[in-house]
Amino acid sequence: MSWLSAIELRQPWFLLCALLALPVYFWALRGGGRVVFSSLRLLPAATKTWRTRLRFVPPLCLALATAALALSLAGPRVADRQTRVKKQGIAIMLVIDVSGSMQALDLSTPDRERTRLDAVRDVLLDFVLGGHGLPGRPDDLLGIVSFAAYADTRCPLTLDHANLAKSAKQVEIVSKEDEDGTAIGDGLGLALERLRESKATSRVAILLTDGVNNRGETAPLQAADLAATLGIKVYTVGAGTNGMAPVRVTDAFGRRFLSRMPVEIDEKMLRAIAEKTGGRYFRATDDKTLSQVYREIDALERSEFIEQRYRQYHEYYPLALAVGLLLAAAAWLLQATLLRRVPQ
């Protein structure tokens, strides 16, 4: 019976004509075949034959023909729906600080010790693939740039998010002293170069750092000016606490223990970058607020969908019309032959 639910009517008001089927039936049943007598005694004894028993058939055929013709006028049809969705995706570069200060443990959860980078990576994977309240970004081009003293492209803009997730898991905090530092301007500048090449209608960079710009050739605000010129929006995230943060270190004997190190975030600079480019600055001081930051960014930057529906209908009114005409012809034929009534 599923095919019945798929039927729709082009002009459903014509179904009201089907109400004429009842008066047509009674009119046809009473019409014709009558002779007026002055007395019933003049009539021969009534005898019932198969013809008299089936005298209702022609009127019934006419009534059903009326209903079928009404259905034909209503235009029954079944739509073969084909939907094409045009998706205007967003190009997003994820710019991640991997300097030594990202070893701080202040973004750990109650049941798991993790560095700032571990926490950021977990949230990024949810942001990309979905999970923990984030729907994922299946229709967007995503890429990763990491930076410490130097900036590197870890994954170019891609729709292959499984491969991007593998690249994100391979991002590590720098271990060599000459590679340590925070080149925010260089990291953002490299992300802008990758976004410049994209033809996406909307381009966004999400810059996360826990420090102060102290390395690199490009000043952060200079990169922000370039982003504004290119029409690229930059969301900045300051991760971790200011002041002293716990960090696990290894002594000369290979023993690991907790120590505390000073950390500082240049919030004024991060806020200025966001304001110059039309983005927003967010502060994440623990794992919950970090997740909330990415939920807010996810809500602010969503892909635009333009849905175009194309419908090709299979029309069934000719079938209803044919059934109605056949029933009307059958009624006429029966009344003229087998079930003929005298006088007509």
pLDDT at residue 243 in the model? 79
pLDDT at 28 over 60: yes
The β-bridge relationship of strands 141-147 and 90-97 is: parallel
The per-residue pLDDT for 123 is 93
Residue of 210, 163, 209 whose CA lies nearest to 187: 209
Of the candidates 65, 120, 72, 77, the one whose C-alpha atom is nearest the C-alpha of residue 97 is 120
* Residue 303 in this model has a pLDDT that exceeds 70: no
- pLDDT of 193 higher than 90: yes
Model confidence pLDDT, tens digit, residues 105-141: 988 888 888 999 999 999 999 999 998 888 889 888 9
Average pLDDT over residues 295-311: 71
pTM of the model: 0.64
**Has residue 307 got a pLDDT over 60?**
no
Q: Which residues contact 43 (CB under 8 A, 6 or more apart)?
A: 37
**Residue 184 near residue 239 (C-beta atoms within 8 A):** no
Query: DSSP secondary structure string, 225-245?
Result: HHHHHHT-EEEEEEES-SEEE
**How far lies 139's CA from each of 110, 126, 269, in Å?**
34, 15, 32
Q: Alpha helices of the chain — where are they, by DSSP H? A: 2-6, 21-30, 50-53, 57-74, 116-129, 161-170, 184-196, 220-230, 267-277, 287-300, 317-336
| Structure-token match 């505390």, residue found | 260
**Residues contacting residue 181 through CB under 8 Å, at least 6 positions apart:** 99, 148, 149, 214, 215, 216
Residue 299 has what pLDDT? 87
% pLDDT > 70, the chain = 83
pLDDT at 143: 96
* From 30-34, 281-285, 325-329, the region with the lowest mean pLDDT: 30-34
* φ and ψ at residue 339, rounded to 5 degrees: -110, 35
Q: Specify the fold of 90-302.
A: Rossmann fold (3.40.50)
The closest of 153, 125, 128, 132 to 140, measured between CA atoms, is: 128
Domain coordinates of the chain in residue numbers?
Answer: 2-82+313-336, 90-302
**Which positions ≥6 away from 147 have C-beta within 8 Å?**
95, 96, 97, 98, 99, 182, 183, 184, 186, 187, 190, 216
φ and ψ of 240, to 5 deg: 95, 180
Question: Is it the case that residue 252 has pLDDT exceeding 70?
Answer: no
